[in-house]
């Protein structure tokens, strides 16, 4: 049974959560009967009973999972945390207030499975119920960014999208701290089908997006996906320099023709004020880009989780090099795969990533693999064992890279012993050994 992961950011949404869960259950029961839901609620530092209600749901509904932040990190961080945790064959991002209609999910899924799209996106065609000022500036933002950015962001686009695993992995590969998901979705590419719908009022609660927050968010998007403001500042500088040079020539000629005519402190003060304002504007534009660069180079985590129901003890940051990359090709090995994964998972004293290259199993192997969120699972139909191993090599990040067949097991403490043996021979690029039920081969990641 295929799984659909739903990522649901929450901030003080205790009134909306029950209605959302009820509507999702109805859609899966009536329209998505052959699919299993995975609901990942990401609590973005709520101060009400949101987390308490999510925990109660998780006690009675095994499909409900949650991540709770140590403070409010913002919706973008919540989306990223949910993407990291998702284990489904398809992944969707949704708002809990039901402004993203769950009833669209069956059509979005059909677009991916039947029509060959990689992603199904949604956009609002009306803004009925929004304040006029907010609607005006929203349309102005989309018109502006279309003019100054190479990344085409669809007018009225929502974060509500259903995507395949390749799209998910592409988004997770983008590790920037200052995130603008609407732009990131478009930047990674992939074939997307858009579904239009009219604006839907919140089912409960109040929006957390004030006009000022939306204004700052729009600046975030412009800075993230366009350098046009920097070019504008440069053009203004060149233009003012030209005007100043031309003014000097005109005033000089005027003084030569009409002596003592070039005077007047009022006009001089006005010119200085205008020049000073433009200089400060250009410095402010430059400062925005410099500030974003400053926050990026600090490499702070995108979020910090205070509590979670999803275990990530084996997941490492992308910029961390694990001791081992273990590559396991699989195809219809439901009988053995769980013991293989457990034998790797229980290794102590080392860091590792476990990459599974599945060739499109049909016997339940994928259901077992999806139950282990720490795995780096890649499903590529009809790829074959040799091709699966080669693709795993290309994705490996470890200091040492080894492959382990699905019907093999690692002995307890095997990886720690192998690491000690390999570290004692720094000149060795390839190590052969019997660290599992069958012997195997291990290579340095930088070996020829």
CA distances from 45 to 48, 214, 243 (A): 9, 19, 53
pTM here is 0.59
Residue 415's CB: how many other CB atoms inside 10 A?
A: 24
pLDDT digits (tens, 9 = 90+) for 71-107: 888 888 888 888 888 878 889 998 888 888 888 888 8
Percent of the chain predicted with pLDDT > 70 = 77
Pull the structure tokens for residue 280. Answer: 């400060």
- Model confidence at 273: pLDDT above 50: yes
Q: Quick one: CA dihedral 22, 201, 164, 315, positive or negative?
A: negative
What is the C-alpha separation between 21 and 23, in angstroms, rounded? 6
Angstrom distance (rounded) from CA 109 to CA 118 = 10
Going by DSSP bridges, is the β-strand pair 324-330/90-93 parallel, antiparallel, or unpaired? Answer: unpaired
Report the first-to-last Cα separation within the chain, whole angstroms.
41
Most confident region among 132-136, 165-169, 235-239, 290-294 by mean pLDDT = 165-169
Q: In this structure, how many other beta carbons lie within 10 angstroms of the beta carbon of residue 352? A: 22
Distance in angstroms (rounded) separating the CA atoms of residues 437 and 251: 92
- Alpha carbon distance 401, 352 (integer Å): 10
Nearest to 369 by CA among 324, 378, 168, 394: 378
- Residue 441: the pLDDT is 43
pLDDT at 362: 85
pLDDT of residue 76: 86
* pLDDT confidence of residue 269: 58
377 pLDDT band, cuts 50/70/90, is confident
Supply the pLDDT for residue 254.
72
Least confident of 192-196, 362-366, 441-445: 441-445
User: What is the token pair recorded at 337?
Assistant: 């795969």
* pLDDT one-digit tens code per residue, 407-423: 888 888 888 888 888 88
**pLDDT tens, position by position, 312-345:** 444 444 445 788 888 898 888 888 888 889 888 8
Q: How confident is the model at residue 438 (pLDDT cuts 50, 70, 90)?
A: very low
CB 418 within 8 A of CB 433: yes
Instruction: Convert the pLDDT of each residue in 187-244 to its tens digit.
Output: 787 888 888 888 777 767 676 666 666 676 677 767 766 666 766 777 777 777 677 7
Give the pLDDT score at 82.
87
Q: Do the Cβ atoms of 374 and 398 come closer than 8 Å?
A: no
Contact in structure between 213 and 141 (CB atoms under 8 Å): no
pLDDT at 369 (0 to 100): 86
Q: Residue 131 has what pLDDT?
A: 62
Q: In what order do the strands lie in the sheet with 64-69?
A: 192-197, 119-124, 157-164, 90-93, 2-10, 35-43, 64-69, 305-308
> Is 356 in a helix, a strand, or coil?
strand
- Alpha carbons 108 and 125: distance in angstroms, whole number: 17
Whether the predicted pLDDT of 431 surpasses 80: no
DSSP letter for each residue of 368-410: HHHT-TTSEEEE-TT--HHHHHHHHHHH--SSEEEE--TT--B
| CA distances, 2 to each of 61, 176, 402 (Å) | 18, 31, 29
Q: What is the pLDDT of residue 306?
A: 82
Element containing residue 306 per DSSP (H, E): strand 305-308
Residue 134's pLDDT band (boundaries 50, 70, 90)?
low
pLDDT at 429: 64
Quick check: 334 and 354 in contact, CB under 8 A? no
């Amino acid at each position: 049974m295929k799984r659909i992961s739903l990522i649901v950011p929450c901030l003080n949404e205790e009134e909306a959560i029950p209605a959302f869960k009820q509507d999702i259950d109805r859609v899966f029961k009536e329209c998505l009967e052959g699919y299993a839901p995975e609901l990942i609620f990401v609590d973005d530092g709520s101060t009400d009973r949101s987390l308490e209600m999510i925990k109660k749901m998780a006690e009675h509904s095994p499909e409900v999972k949650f991540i709770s932040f140590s403070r409010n990190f913002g919706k973008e961080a919540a989306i990223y945390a949910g993407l990291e945790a998702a284990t489904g064959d398809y992944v969707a991002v949704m708002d809990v207030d039901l402004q993203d209609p769950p009833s669209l999910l069956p059509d979005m899924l059909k677009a991916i499975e039947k029509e060959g799209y990689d992603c199904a996106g949604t956009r609002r065609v009306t803004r009925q119920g929004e304040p006029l000022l907010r609607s005006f500036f929203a349309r102005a933002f989309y018109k502006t960014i279309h003019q100054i950015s190479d990344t085409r962001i669809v007018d009225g686009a929502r974060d509500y999208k259903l995507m395949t695993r390749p799209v998910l992995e592409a988004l997770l590969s983008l590790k920037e701290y200052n995130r603008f998901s609407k732009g990131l979705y478009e930047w990674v590419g992939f074939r997307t089908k858009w579904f239009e719908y009219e604006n839907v009022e919140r089912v409960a609660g109040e929006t957390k997006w004030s006009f000022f927050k939306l204004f700052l968010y729009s600046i975030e998007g412009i800075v993230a996906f366009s350098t046009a403001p920097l070019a504008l500042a440069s053009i203004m500088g060149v233009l003012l320099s030209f005007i100043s040079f031309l003014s000097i020539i005109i005033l000089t000629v005027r003084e030569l023709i009409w002596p003592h005519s070039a005077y007047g402190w009022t006009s001089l003060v006005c010119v200085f004020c205008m020049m000073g304002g433009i200089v400060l504007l250009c410095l402010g534009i430059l400062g925005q880009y410099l500030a974003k660069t400053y926050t990026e180079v600090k490499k702070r985590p995108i979020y910090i989780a205070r509590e979670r129901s999803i275990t990530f003890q084996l997941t490492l940051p992308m910029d961390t090099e694990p001791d081992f990359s273990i590559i396991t090709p699989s195809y219809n090995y439901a009988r053995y795969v769980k013991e293989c994964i457990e034998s790797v998972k229980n290794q102590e004293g080392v860091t590792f990533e476990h990459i599974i290259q599945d060739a499109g199993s049909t016997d339940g192997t994928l259901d077992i693999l999806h139950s282990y969120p720490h795995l780096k699972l890649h499903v590529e139909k009809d790829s074959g064992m040799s091709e699966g191993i080669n693709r795993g090599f290309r994705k490996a990040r470890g200091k040492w890279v080894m492959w382990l067949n699905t019907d093999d097991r690692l002995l307890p403490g095997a990886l720690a012993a192998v690491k000690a043996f390999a570290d004692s021979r720094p000149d060795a690029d390839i190590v052969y050994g019997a660290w599992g039920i069958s012997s195997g081969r291990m290579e340095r990641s930088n070996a020829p």
